[in-house]
């Protein structure tokens, strides 16, 4: 979309419910920037990692309980290597606890018109109730650009040095797409590879959102395609259809919107009734995000079998809590 007019240049399933993964950190940073602007925090304020925040993995800068972290170091850790330990430390520092910070995040989402988004943590680590849409993430990207132009350049930081270690930005469009200057990548198994990207050419800024890539390479390639087509439309050319090579029906989907509870048993009953009335066969589809596709037998053996009537939320959470994340 073009941010001045909100003109849609390309969309496909823009309102489908998805997990945000580390795109969640865009809202974490929005609230940090807001605190800086309102004088409730400064870039040089020092926060201290708790046992909880230091345990957030796998993408992290290596904080240990009690380690100091300045607000600016936290910002740089999020925009470059998407550090979960830094995100949790920032959230606890601003709100006292991560759950309290997540509630602030969801309230801010409503203020920004993100009606389909719910946040449950500051990092984007797997939580079955943490959901969003591509259109809502566009709104957040635009808000960051419009409300905090003085802080937005942080998103183009290519490298961050912390305690002798160098962390590189996960957003490779900064290196290989002309005009790109942010914003954020994300990945968990339940979401696929996600990206919100902003690019500016000839005074025109576009923001694109891609969810569900089956690799970072193909996600980035699709983003380049839709941005190229968007800039071509701005110049007066006809739009071209841009099919994502990874969108072939396997990509993870959620069946419940914020405030709704999905019950596989109840859903299966409805399908059986509908099939009986229609005289057709019915098939129960598994929710892909309940269990990573590449889960090993060893990891499955360590997990306790779910009870017959256990909550689908608990089952899903237990299977995704150790999911790799970038």
Residues with catalytic annotation? 22, 25, 82
CB–CB of 96/71 below 8 Å? no
Please enumerate in sequence order all residues whose Cβ is within 8 A of that of 39, keeping only pairs 6 or more positions apart, or say none.
none
For residue 77 the two structure tokens come to 């850790």
Token code pair at residue 176:
């290989």
Distance CA 326, CA 324 (A): 7
H-helix segments, 20-113: 24-37, 51-54, 71-81, 84-95, 98-111
Measuring CA to CA, which residue among 233, 230, 184 is closest to residue 210?
A: 184
Residue 233 in contact with residue 217, Cβ under 8 Å?
no
> Can you read off the two tokens belonging to residue 106?
């969801």
Task: List all residues 6 or more positions away from 60 whose beta carbon is below 8 Å from its beta carbon.
Answer: 83, 84, 85, 86
What residues contact 64, with CB distance under 8 A and at least 6 apart?
A: 49, 54
Dmax (CA) of the chain? 68
| Structure token pair of residue 134 | 């591509």
CB 77 within 8 A of CB 161: no
């Amino acid at each position: 979309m073009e941010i001045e007019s909100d003109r849609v240049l390309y969309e496909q399933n823009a309102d489908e419910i998805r997990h945000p993964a580390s795109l969640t950190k865009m809202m974490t940073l929005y609230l940090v920037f807001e605190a800086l602007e309102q004088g409730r925090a400064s870039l040089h304020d020092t926060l201290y990692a708790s046992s909880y925040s230091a345990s957030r993995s796998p993408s992290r800068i290596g904080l240990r309980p009690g380690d100091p972290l300045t607000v600016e170091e936290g910002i740089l850790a999020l925009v470059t290597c998407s550090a979960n330990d830094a995100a949790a430390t920032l959230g606890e520092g601003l709100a006292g606890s991560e759950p309290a910070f997540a509630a602030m995040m969801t309230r801010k989402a409503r203020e920004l018109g993100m009606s389909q988004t719910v946040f449950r943590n500051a990092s984007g680590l797997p939580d079955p109730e943490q959901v969003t849409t591509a259109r809502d993430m566009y709104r957040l990207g635009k808000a960051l650009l419009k409300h905090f132009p003085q802080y937005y350049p942080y998103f183009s930081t290519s490298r961050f040095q912390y305690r002798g270690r160098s962390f590189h930005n996960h957003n490779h469009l900064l290196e290989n797409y002309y005009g790109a200057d942010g914003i954020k990548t994300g990945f968990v198994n339940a979401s696929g590879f996600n990206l919100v990207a902003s690019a500016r050419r000839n005074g025109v800024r576009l923001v694109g959102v891609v969810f569900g890539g089956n690799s970072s390479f193909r996600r980035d390639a699709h983003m380049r395609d839709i941005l190229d087509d968007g800039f071509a439309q701005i110049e007066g050319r006809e739009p071209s259809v841009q099919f994502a090579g990874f969108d072939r029906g396997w990509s993870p989907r959620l069946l419940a919107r914020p405030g709704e509870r999905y019950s596989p048993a109840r859903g299966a009953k409805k399908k059986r009734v509908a099939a009986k009335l229609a005289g057709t066969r019915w098939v129960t589809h598994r929710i892909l995000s309940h269990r990573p596709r590449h889960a090993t037998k060893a990891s499955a053996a360590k997990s306790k079998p779910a009870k017959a009537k256990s909550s689908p939320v608990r089952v899903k959470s237990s299977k995704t809590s150790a999911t790799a994340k970038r």
